[in-house]
Amino acid sequence: MGKISKNGLDASKTDIAFIAQHAELAEQFTGLLELTQIYNSAIKEISTKLEILNDQFKIKHSHNPIRYIESRVKSPRSIIEKCRRKNIELNPADVVENVFDIAGIRVICCYIDDIYSVADMLLSQNDITLIRKKDYIKSPKENGYRSLHLVIRIPIFLADRVEMVPAEIQIRTVAMDFWASLEHQLRYKSKSGYITEGISRELKECAEDSAELDLRMQDIYRRLNSQI
């Protein structure tokens, strides 16, 4: 998901250079820059919902299921590049309808049970519409990646209209996030740019070890709470 976006309305130097080289995109870039404001609003709305649910869960169950939340909004340049790859028209309506990961939120939980509790609480709210759900915890990816992915739509109330804005939410444990972050760094940001079959196998074994640790910590938590 990359770094947290502090302000989706700021065009980076690389964005400006990109537009300078592709003058025909200037109008679309401006429209997409304005669109990111709406996606920033969606992130604020979802983050607030999650924080409220986290506080409510603590009152009922004596612990916070969410350790922390990260978020980002794709830059206009990234949106343009993705639309080109997917043959999507560069206008706000088509972008909103077809690109679901412009607004991204990552929720880091304590335990596996917390992942499903947070997802159920969020999806039970009547202004949240589920578009797609992929459970990579019950069915991990081939490389060992684990996380629960939700794509939702949420209404954003503007001065003159209501926009139904999509957002991607990844919910995972601390152990899952630790493995995913380092695996991505090792696989895609290594100096050689090449990962051998042996190293890929080791990385997957690390994912299995992390999953086993998650299950053991979950079991310890359950046993301790059964004594209360």
pLDDT digits (tens, 9 = 90+) for 172-196: 999 999 999 999 888 876 666 678 8
pLDDT digits (tens, 9 = 90+) for 101-137: 999 999 999 999 999 999 999 999 999 999 999 999 9
DSSP bridge pairs for 162: 157
Q: Quickly tell me which residue has 């629960």 as its tokens.
A: 148
Concerning whether 27 is annotated as a catalytic residue, the answer is no
* Alpha carbons 209 and 182: distance in angstroms, whole number: 14
By CB atoms closer than 10 A (0-12, 13-18, 19+), residue 87 is exposed
Q: Is the pLDDT of residue 85 over 80?
A: yes
DSSP conformation letters of 126-149: TT-EEEEEEETTTS--TT----EE
DSSP 36: H
Q: pLDDT over 70 for what percent of the chain?
A: 83
* Alpha carbons 228 and 226: distance in angstroms, whole number: 6
**Listed residue (183, 105, 176, 181) closest to 143, CA to CA:** 183
Dump strand ranges (E) for 61-147.
Answer: 66-73, 103-109, 129-135
* Alpha carbons 91 and 228: distance in angstroms, whole number: 56
Exactly one of 89, 168, 183, 202 is catalytic; which is it? 168
Radius of gyration of the chain, Cα coordinates, nearest whole angstrom: 20
User: Across all residues in the chain, what is the average pLDDT?
Assistant: 87
Tell me which of 3 and 133 has the higher pLDDT.
133
pLDDT reported for residue 178: 97
- 68 residue type, one letter: Y
pLDDT digits (tens, 9 = 90+) for 202-217: 999 999 999 999 999 9
User: Residues 6 or more apart from 161 whose CB is under 8 A from it?
Assistant: none
What are the tokens at 181?
Answer: 């972050």
pLDDT digits (tens, 9 = 90+) for 50-65: 999 999 999 998 899 9
User: Residues 6 or more apart from 95 whose CB is under 8 A from it?
Assistant: 32, 35, 79, 83, 88, 102
Polymer length of the chain? 228
Q: Which helix (H) or strand (E) holds 32?
A: helix 26-61
